[in-house]
Structure 1
Amino acid sequence: MYTKEQLRRLLIPLMFEQVLTALMGSVDTIMVTNIGSAAISAVSLVDSLNILIINIFAAMATGGAIICAQYLGSNQKDKANQALKQLIFSVTLISILITIPCILFRRPLLSLIFGSVEKKRDGQFIKLSFHHRPILSLYRSI
């Protein structure tokens, strides 16, 4: 079906992407180490949510790519285009529906998930972190 070289060319970018995703939390933490321990805890709390959401949209993008590939493999370009349009629409809509409540209810959300948290820094970081979520999720799906 596929040669080892073809699989390797597919696997290397996927592994690189996963390493970058995993390093994202570490780099965020390193950047705020000079500010103090409250900032470090805020970044750590919100990064776990970010990684969860990134993986959800990566799974959606993978599923959409599989469906489009099946249509393209059976020479049904119209259905592949329709599936891609549906993927883009659904990813955009879901990311907006996730982003708006997370920004509006960021402090109660963090308190619900993690218990008592310092409200000032955690709420600001989650607000900044979720502003780019629709664009990032759309990028991951294309």
Structure 2
Amino acid sequence: MKVRYLWFLIFLISCGETKVLKTVNWKGNTITWEVLDGGATTSYLWKIMFSEKGESSKDLIFRSYSTPYVGDIEVHQDKLLILIPDFKNKVNDTIAINLRDVEEYIDEPVDYKRNALKNSNKYYKEPNFVKEDREYYIANDLL
């Protein structure tokens, strides 16, 4: 019975389709913000992909399952700004990635799962608001 349930779950997850929400350019390279909507039973999976100029392949540089919830992306000079809307009615916050270090993010993408930092690299500096939100989620049993 458990095996059937597992296969059914895998089938449901594999049926989801990634949707491109926005594409921005940085020095001829392409950065794509994508989402996989898990439907009523699972959360959103946010992915930010990087494609070098003239290449069709995409490399993951940032992923967030559930939270932090990605609201938009922008490029400002050499920074990728990942805009995070806040559920506690505060001002929106931003995660910044220095695109001059993009190779380090390709090698070791930032990966969140329900506000827990699962993977990072030495170039990523986790913003205080993410740490505070994680503490809030834990204190209120929201994870």
**TM-score exceeds 0.5:** no
TM-score (norm 1): 0.25
Higher helix proportion (structure 1 or 2): 1
Larger radius of gyration: 1
If asked which structure has higher relative contact order (CA below 8 Å, sep 6+), I would say: 1
TM-score (norm 2): 0.25
